Amino acid sequence: MTEKIKPTMMNYRRHLLVCVGERCTENGAGQSLYDSLRDKFKQAGLNSGDLRVKRSRATCFGTCKTGPLICVQPDGVWYYDIDETKLDRIIEQHLIGGQPVKEWIYHQGPGV
């Protein structure tokens, strides 16, 4: 039997999940948002250090309406109908400034 090697991961402050499922968005809009995050995080200084944000794709959040949808953890904040302009504001106000953008939140987790 081959020994399994424990994976490693860099530290991060927040984890941004982007729904790229076909039922959430048209024409791959969720995937496009996800693809833009690498450069946006680098420009904002969120790709390393104390404010680092990890990004991941998800195929379904189970709330298939008005996507693209994104979720910021561990904050428990779920955003809907996100485009590039809204994403820029979420990065500035929420991921850097720590204040969720209330007008695009459709759900908040327990204790928020």
pLDDT of residue 22: 83
In a domain, 34, yes or no: yes
Question: What band does 46 get if pLDDT is binned at 50, 70 and 90?
Answer: very high
Q: Which residue has the tokens 């693209």?
A: 68
Question: What band does 111 get if pLDDT is binned at 50, 70 and 90?
Answer: low
In a domain, 5, yes or no: no
Alpha carbons within 13 angstroms on the beta-carbon side of residue 85 total: 0
In a domain, 2, yes or no: no
Q: Are 51 and 13 in contact (CB under 8 A)?
A: yes
Q: Residue 74 is part of a domain; what is its CATH number? A: 3.40.30.10
In a domain, 3, yes or no: no
Q: What is the pLDDT of residues 17-41, one digit of tens each?
A: 999 988 877 788 999 999 999 999 9
**Could you tell me which residues come within 8 angstroms of residue 90 by beta carbon, excluding any fewer than 6 positions away?**
70, 72, 79, 82, 101, 104
Residue 56's CB: how many other CB atoms inside 10 A?
13
In a domain, 104, yes or no: yes
In a domain, 35, yes or no: yes
Number of domains in the chain: 1
pTM: 0.90
User: Where would I find the H helices in the chain?
Assistant: 29-44, 84-90
Structural domain range at position 37: 14-108
Q: What is the pLDDT of residues 62-105, one digit of tens each?
A: 887 788 999 999 999 999 999 999 999 999 999 999 999 999 99
